[in-house]
Amino acid sequence: MRIFTAPAETPIGILQLSCREEGVCRIAFTGGPAIPSDFPATGSPGDAPGLAEHRWIREARNQLAEYFQRKRRKFMLPLSLEGTAFQESVWNAILKVPYGTTLSYRELAARIGRPEAVRAVGAAVGSNPIPIIVPCHRILGSNGRLTGFAGGLKVKERLLELEGSRIPFG
């Protein structure tokens, strides 16, 4: 199965976008530099020169740009998620957490009908292959504190601030 990959510049740094024919399959934080200003009101990320990109990469880049410009609250992209049945149930539940709101790992476990599986839910959240689009940054510790995130806690905090989420104990 062929995977297409290309970078995307964002206010939180360079993201590596990957897709298959079925849809977006991965977003990775590269640790690259961020665009200097925080969440610019205008503009869009530049395309890598000479790169013949897959349509889902282009669409993901466009929708991410709109998200960071506060013009998009919900991503409308086909996703190609691959994990265990349990992981996929967690990731699908995360997709239902609305923009600007947060849930605890405990609440997420209850939503999937597995209230005793809080640690397993945490592991599934941590293995989310498509952060931001599958908005695992909206999942907090049961005390309201920020917990692990692939892009780092500062990026998680910035994403929540962008969405206007209240972080109880930051």
**What CA–CA distance (Å, rounded) separates 104 from 145?**
9
**What CA–CA distance (Å, rounded) separates 137 from 160?**
7
Confidence of residue 1 (pLDDT cuts 50, 70, 90): confident
**What CA–CA distance (Å, rounded) separates 151 from 164?**
19
pLDDT tens for residues 77-103?
999 999 999 999 999 999 999 999 999
Confidence of residue 170 (pLDDT cuts 50, 70, 90): very low
Examine the pLDDT at 48 and tell me if it is beyond 50. Answer: no
**Averaged pLDDT score across all residues of the chain:** 85
DSSP codes, the chain: ---EEEEEEETTEEEEEEEETTEEEEEEE--PPPPSSSS-SS--PPPPTT----HHHHHHHHHHHHHHTT--SS----B---S-HHHHHHHHHHTTS-TT--EEHHHHHHHTT-TT-HHHHHHHHHT-SSTTTS-GGGEE-TTS-----TT-HHHHHHHHHHHT---S--
Examine the pLDDT at 35 and tell me if it is beyond 50. Answer: no
| Predicted local confidence at residue 59, as pLDDT | 95
- Which own/partner pairs from 123-126 qualify as long-range (CB within 8 Å, at least 24 positions apart)? 124/83, 124/86, 124/87, 124/90, 124/91, 125/90, 125/94, 126/150
Residue 130 has a CB neighbour count (10 Å cut-off) of 26
Active site residue 25: no
Query: Of the listed 15, 136, 155, 159, which one is catalytic?
Result: 136
